[in-house]
Chains A and B, each alone.
Chain A
Amino acid sequence: MPKDHGIGASSKRREDIRFLTGKGRYTDDINLPGQAHACFVRSQVAHGRLKGVDISAAQKMPGVIRVFTAIDLEGVGGLPCGWQVTDRHGNPMQEPGHPVLATGKVRHVGDPIAVVVAETPEQARDAAEAVQPDIEELPPVLDLRGALAEDAVKVHEELSSNLCYDWGFVENNREDVDKAIATAHHVTTLDLVNQRLIPNAMEPRVAIGDFNPATGDSTLYTTSQNPHVIRLLMGAFVLGIPEHKLRVVAPDVGGGFGSKIFHYAEEAFCTFAAKALGRPVKWTCQRSESFMSDAHGRDHVTKIELALDKNGRFLALRTQTHANMGAYLSTFAPSVPTWLHGTLMAGNYRTPLIYVNVKAVFTNTVPVDAYRGAGRPEATFQLERVIDKAAREMGIDPIELRRRNFVTEFPYATPVAVEYDTGDYHATMDKLVEIADFAGFEARRAKSAARGKLRGLGVNCYIEACGIAPSHLVGQLGARAGLYEAATVRVNATGGLVVMTGSHSHGQGHETSFAQVVADMIGLDENMVEIVHGDTANTPMGMGTYGSRSLAVGGSAIVRATEKIIAKAKKIAAHLMEAAPEDIELKNGAFSVAGTDKSVAWGDVTLAAYVPHNYPLEEIEPGLEETAFYDPNNFTFPAGAYACEVEVDPETGKVEVCSFVATDDFGTIVNPMIVDGQVHGGIAQGLGQALLERAVYDEYGQLLSGSYMDYAMPRADDLPSFTVDHSCQTPCTHNPLGVKGCGEAGAIGSPPALVNAVVDALNRGGYEHITHIDMPLTPSRVWAAMR
């Protein structure tokens, strides 16, 4: 029986009511009295020397309040990078400055040069067109490998080259891996590209700065996944405002997928300008502007080699990747191709020897950072593609080859520094085989063939490290932040609860699922629990939402705080019932004394806490409010198996997705309906990558895919309905809820399934020379591969 409330119930989302009636309050819906409007003047060339900016004409335009260039940003620091990677020789990465407004050079199309602040957005935009930057064009650096040539033009002159770092992992394994590959029975090699994507949350970014001259406090309203992180980075590194004088509010946020984790120039500018001008300053990103100013994702070029023995057992794995950082280091960019990628190269398999080399490269393109999955899709894609190719080369069924190599005993320490606490990869594969009806594939294929279509079946596994992250561990790896989460649970006198969390919901439904957890622990109606998030003024310092961490880390903090509440409430109940606290039981929102019929209601205890007339004041304080910080002691490891069936039209190369099945092990599930939705959305983004999406630069560094006319977002008629199952559950062993996280799985697991399926269809259709096609698998690419 599905549960109808508490943990495990598909409770309807309470936040939906405001979103469905037009009452959501997104950042652009906020207008402050007296606000002025900012418009950024951005570089139209990819690379050039900025010799000057003529603002004289713009300054005289109607409504213009002030035009800012870099020299006007007195005392403003550069945008900080939150992660320092150490290269394979033990040296820190090369870390160039990242000014809020371009200084000396422009380094990508979209690099901000100046800002016009005017009375209306239209006036600001009109005047921005009159700003004249004087730019001497330089040849752009665009090719990842070419950028590392001896004589390459440099993106940053102050650095020794365009190489950010050359990372080796695990460096001590390198020689053993080389040896194993040199002597193996079989080695499968694959060159592939994980193309650049543009995250495209449907809500464009917005920032509003406000300054209160009476108190000297600054406030920033922003479209962020982690307001506390923005407060810390912007306050401490960019503007020099202590946290107690700076408030950051991220109200309803219309999707993020990683792109709203980072601290952006526009946030710092609006906060700065509000103080400089003495009035609120608002900036709303135009979509075409977001294409060239939001951090992009992926953009890896990889060679992977898998060594196998004659029975198909994996012996060693070596991968070499060039990862594009873009023109500057975005907030968490260095961690993505390294610690979020190299540590996942073991996948679901027992590969004893692994070596990962990553060269991160600066180019004249938009900075690249975490996008849904961040590093883990890149790891999964190359691994699951090379396994499929190996299966074909060795004549072993691809599922069987995977099964032969599955990790089956837990905990399992991989050769790439992580320890999987629990999992059951055969179980998710068994489930997949069952629901995807592999037995019926031949019949479906014959039907497709009768219609002149080539049908193929692609299968893959994935594993991800989520619940980011143990602070002590990431500290050793170069993170300049802790990655705990915090919660405050405040119980009011009349029994209702307010939970203040550092996690941020921008589509994940925390207001519902977090309330389910607390209500379940106490035995109350979910409607008695209110979730507050998104405002540094009324939530404890938390690190926000990304990396499928909210329930695993944020939820655990809530559990810990609620446990403290329950412990204290039991003491109060014990006093009221003249019993020992150890004898108090809490069930269905009432306290009772074990073995007696004595009981007091939840509300009696909460009232006593705030009206402490009959109360053990000498032992405990009045009130009922607790805070907990939770720092996980390991990552969580969601894993699963995905299957995709496609039909390829041999005449046109068009790929149609006929079915997509996902079986995931997310550990304990709090709200199955929400989990289904997270997987659906992830699959859609993964299939978008596999079939449609690609950020394209031309040879001059112009972004050709700069609007929805040119960047192919998946639309309703591009996708099928999905079948998702999460009945295989091996609860996480180290967090109190047993949850693993589900937000990124679909985006990580689905691209290889689609590509495997298309390669399968083509091979079955007689195109045996096709071993790989780079994403996106557009009709033209598939058609070209067949010729």
Chain B
Amino acid sequence: MTEVSMTVNGKAVSGQVEGRTLLVQFLRETLGLTGTHVGCDTSQCGTCVIHVNGKAVKSCTIFAQEADGAQITTIEGMANPDGSLSPIQKAFQDYHGLQCGFCTPGMVMSAAALLAENPTPTEAEIRAYLSGNLCRCTGYHNIVRAILAASGQGVAAE
């Protein structure tokens, strides 16, 4: 067991981990931050996406030890300081960009990373960027609309 320390959603945290402990396990099991999900065992689904030092990362693909000292943001850290939904989260609700909610934390984290890199993406750019995030419920249609709306671009009413 090794001690790791990192900043998660603005709070300093630390804990004991095995060499094989994945970052997503550390978040879910040690820190109890169960908003980050595990949907696969081949790094294909994106339900575990978080931000590590500002970059979108599948937290099942790195060991907790590799994140020692990192700045981490998870879905639990995405709301406004008063607890209300941030613009991206709000757009997901307004445009019905989620159904069962299981892919949603990863989708929101990926969407936030996309908009940080490319503030006004086209539909094609959004679809390409999300190709690492699986959703079985929405058919992606409303996720794309939500991200377009969050980027301040017009979205046709339906």
Q: Give the A-B pair count, Cβ closer than 8 A.
A: 185
Question: Which of B33, B100, B139 has a CB less than 8 Å from the CB of A507?
Answer: B100
Q: Report the separation of the CA atoms of residues A682 and B137 in the bound assembly, to the nearest whole angstrom.
A: 8
Task: Name B91's closest neighbour in chain A (CB-CB).
Answer: A20
Question: Which of A28, A286, A674 has a CB less than 8 Å from the CB of B96?
Answer: A674
Per-position 1/0 for B14-52, Cβ under 8 A of A: 000010100000001100011111111110110100000
> Is B131 in contact with chain A by the CB < 8 A criterion?
yes
Q: Report the separation of the CA atoms of residues A506 and B39 in the bound assembly, to the nearest whole angstrom.
A: 16
> Is B134 in contact with chain A by the CB < 8 A criterion?
yes
Question: Which of A20, A508, A721 has a CB less than 8 Å from the CB of B99?
Answer: A508
Tier of interface size on chain B: 35 or more
> Is B54 in contact with chain A by the CB < 8 A criterion?
no
Q: Report the separation of the CA atoms of residues A709 and B35 in the bound assembly, to the nearest whole angstrom.
A: 25
Q: Report the separation of the CA atoms of residues A746 and B38 in the bound assembly, to the nearest whole angstrom.
A: 27
Question: Which of B74, B104, B140 has a CB less than 8 Å from the CB of A716?
Answer: B140
Task: Name B20's closest neighbour in chain A (CB-CB).
Answer: A122
Q: Report the separation of the CA atoms of residues A446 and B98 in the bound assembly, to the nearest whole angstrom.
A: 38
* Chain A residues whose C-beta falls within 8 Å of the C-beta of B64 in the assembled complex: none
* Chain B residues whose C-beta falls within 8 Å of the C-beta of A204 in the assembled complex: 38-39
> Is A254 in contact with chain B by the CB < 8 A criterion?
yes
- Does B96 contact A673, Cβ atoms closer than 8 Å? yes
Assess A721 versus B141: contact at CB under 8 Å? Given A21-B79, A708-B42: yes
Q: Report the separation of the CA atoms of residues A715 and B140 in the bound assembly, to the nearest whole angstrom.
A: 8
Give the interface SS of chain B, mostly helix, strand, loop or mixed: loop
One of A11-19, A425-433, A626-634 at the interface: A11-19
Question: Which of B33, B130, B139 has a CB less than 8 Å from the CB of A684?
Answer: B139
Question: Which of A19, A31, A288, A715 has a CB less than 8 Å from the CB of B101?
Answer: A19
* Chain A residues whose C-beta falls within 8 Å of the C-beta of B130 in the assembled complex: 715-717
Task: Name A724's closest neighbour in chain B (CB-CB).
Answer: B158
Q: Report the separation of the CA atoms of residues A714 and B124 in the bound assembly, to the nearest whole angstrom.
A: 15
- Does A122 contact B18, Cβ atoms closer than 8 Å? yes
> Is A589 in contact with chain B by the CB < 8 A criterion?
no
- Does B39 contact A203, Cβ atoms closer than 8 Å? yes
In residues 146-204 of chain A, which contact B (Cβ within 8 Å)? 200-204
> Is B133 in contact with chain A by the CB < 8 A criterion?
yes
In residues 714-728 of chain A, which contact B (Cβ within 8 Å)? 714-717, 719, 721-722, 724
Question: Which of A15, A20, A23, A201 has a CB less than 8 Å from the CB of B92?
Answer: A20
* Chain B residues whose C-beta falls within 8 Å of the C-beta of A20 in the assembled complex: 75, 78, 85, 89, 92-93, 98, 101, 104, 108
Task: Name A204's closest neighbour in chain B (CB-CB).
Answer: B39
- Does B140 contact A684, Cβ atoms closer than 8 Å? yes
- Does B39 contact A255, Cβ atoms closer than 8 Å? no
Q: Report the separation of the CA atoms of residues A203 and B144 in the bound assembly, to the nearest whole angstrom.
A: 21
Task: Name B143's closest neighbour in chain A (CB-CB).
Answer: A716
Q: Report the separation of the CA atoms of residues A201 and B45 in the bound assembly, to the nearest whole angstrom.
A: 11
Centre residue among B100, B102, B128 by max chain A CB count within 10 A: B100
In residues 498-520 of chain A, which contact B (Cβ within 8 Å)? 506-509
Q: What count of chain A residues pass the 8 Å CB interface test?
A: 59
Q: Report the separation of the CA atoms of residues A716 and B39 in the bound assembly, to the nearest whole angstrom.
A: 17
> Is B135 in contact with chain A by the CB < 8 A criterion?
yes
Task: Name A684's closest neighbour in chain B (CB-CB).
Answer: B139
- Does A716 contact B42, Cβ atoms closer than 8 Å? no
- Does B131 contact A507, Cβ atoms closer than 8 Å? no
Question: Which of B35, B127, B135, B139 has a CB less than 8 Å from the CB of A202?
Answer: B135
Question: Which of A122, A253, A677 has a CB less than 8 Å from the CB of B138?
Answer: A677
- Does A12 contact B93, Cβ atoms closer than 8 Å? yes
Centre residue among B40, B44, B101 by max chain A CB count within 10 A: B101
> Is A252 in contact with chain B by the CB < 8 A criterion?
yes
- Does A22 contact B34, Cβ atoms closer than 8 Å? yes
* Chain B residues whose C-beta falls within 8 Å of the C-beta of A682 in the assembled complex: 139
* Chain A residues whose C-beta falls within 8 Å of the C-beta of B99 in the assembled complex: 255, 507-509, 677-678, 681
The smallest C-beta distance from A633 to any residue of chain B, in angstroms, reads: 30
Task: Name B78's closest neighbour in chain A (CB-CB).
Answer: A21
Assess A16 versus B39: contact at CB under 8 Å? Given A22-B74, A717-B131: no
Q: Report the separation of the CA atoms of residues A23 and B75 in the bound assembly, to the nearest whole angstrom.
A: 9
Q: Report the separation of the CA atoms of residues A17 and B93 in the bound assembly, to the nearest whole angstrom.
A: 8
The smallest C-beta distance from A26 to any residue of chain B, in angstroms, reads: 7
- Does A683 contact B139, Cβ atoms closer than 8 Å? yes
Per-position 1/0 for A248-265, Cβ under 8 A of B: 000011110100000000
The smallest C-beta distance from A618 to any residue of chain B, in angstroms, reads: 50
- Does B94 contact A26, Cβ atoms closer than 8 Å? no
- Does B137 contact A707, Cβ atoms closer than 8 Å? no
Question: Which of B20, B105, B123, B142 has a CB less than 8 Å from the CB of A680?
Answer: B142
> Is A556 in contact with chain B by the CB < 8 A criterion?
no
> Is B11 in contact with chain A by the CB < 8 A criterion?
no
> Is A713 in contact with chain B by the CB < 8 A criterion?
yes
* Chain B residues whose C-beta falls within 8 Å of the C-beta of A15 in the assembled complex: 101
Per-position 1/0 for B111-147, Cβ under 8 A of A: 0000000000001101110110111111111111100
Q: Report the separation of the CA atoms of residues A28 and B29 in the bound assembly, to the nearest whole angstrom.
A: 10
* Chain B residues whose C-beta falls within 8 Å of the C-beta of A243 in the assembled complex: none
* Chain A residues whose C-beta falls within 8 Å of the C-beta of B142 in the assembled complex: 676-677, 680
Q: Report the separation of the CA atoms of residues A203 and B124 in the bound assembly, to the nearest whole angstrom.
A: 27
> Is B150 in contact with chain A by the CB < 8 A criterion?
no
- Does A507 contact B85, Cβ atoms closer than 8 Å? no
- Does B134 contact A713, Cβ atoms closer than 8 Å? yes
Question: Which of A257, A287, A673 has a CB less than 8 Å from the CB of B45?
Answer: A287
* Chain A residues whose C-beta falls within 8 Å of the C-beta of B20 in the assembled complex: 122
* Chain A residues whose C-beta falls within 8 Å of the C-beta of B149 in the assembled complex: none
- Does B45 contact A202, Cβ atoms closer than 8 Å? yes
The smallest C-beta distance from A687 to any residue of chain B, in angstroms, reads: 8
* Chain A residues whose C-beta falls within 8 Å of the C-beta of B44 in the assembled complex: 707-709
* Chain A residues whose C-beta falls within 8 Å of the C-beta of B68 in the assembled complex: none
Q: A24-B35, A724-B158 are in contact. List 18 more A-B contacts (CB 8 A).
A: A16-B92, A16-B101, A19-B101, A202-B37, A202-B135, A202-B137, A255-B137, A287-B42, A288-B41, A509-B99, A676-B142, A708-B42, A713-B134, A715-B130, A716-B143, A717-B124, A717-B127, A717-B131
Can you report 5 A-B residue pairs in the complex whose CB atoms are below 8 A from each other? Answer: A13-B93, A19-B98, A21-B79, A201-B136, A681-B139
The chain B residues found within 8 Å of chain A, CB to CB, are: 18, 20, 28-29, 33-42, 44-45, 47, 74-76, 78-79, 85, 89, 92-94, 96, 98-105, 108, 123-124, 126-128, 130-131, 133-145, 158
